[in-house]
Amino acid sequence: MTNISTNKPPLWFWIVGVIALIWNLMGVMAYIGQAYMTDADLAALPEAEQALYANYPAWATAAFAIAVFGGSIASIALLLRKKLAKTLYVISLLGIVVQMIYNFFISEAMDVYGPGGMIMPVMIIIIGFYLIGFSNKCISKNWIS
């Protein structure tokens, strides 16, 4: 038996946890939409976007998968009040960073989408850091163990 005690988390813990899960599941849907895009779907995009998707490397796709699936599993672990959530959020953030390095510095996404197209990627990075901080707080408050 373990002697780890946990405190009952407040209502807002559950609200943040459910929102985090929904956020990450939306990321999973975005990944599936991109990874399994049909030729017809690709052909319906503007030519510049078609070129972006056609040249998207496997390592960036893998980083995308690690980011969204890691974040989703982390959110489930958080809701199950497991300390493993923090480690999984860190792994997810590493996937985010690798993917965003490609999006910001290697691909031509900035040329295709313009500066406004970078708002969502920056939000994703900020939320990734927030979820690590939130899981740290949950550990320090003994809400998760």
Render 65-103 in DSSP notation, one character per residue.
Answer: HHHHHHHHHHHHHHHTT-THHHHHHHHHHHHHHHHHHII
The one-letter amino acid at 2:
T
Q: Let me know if residue 127 belongs to a domain.
A: yes
- pLDDT: which is higher, 103 or 78: 78
Q: Let me know if residue 112 belongs to a domain.
A: yes
Q: Let me know if residue 102 belongs to a domain.
A: yes
Residue span of the structural domain in which 80 resides: 11-140
Residue-level pLDDT at 75: 98
Q: How many domains does one find in the chain?
A: 1
Residue-level pLDDT at 1: 47
Residue-level pLDDT at 54: 86
Q: Let me know if residue 135 belongs to a domain.
A: yes
State the pTM of this model: 0.91
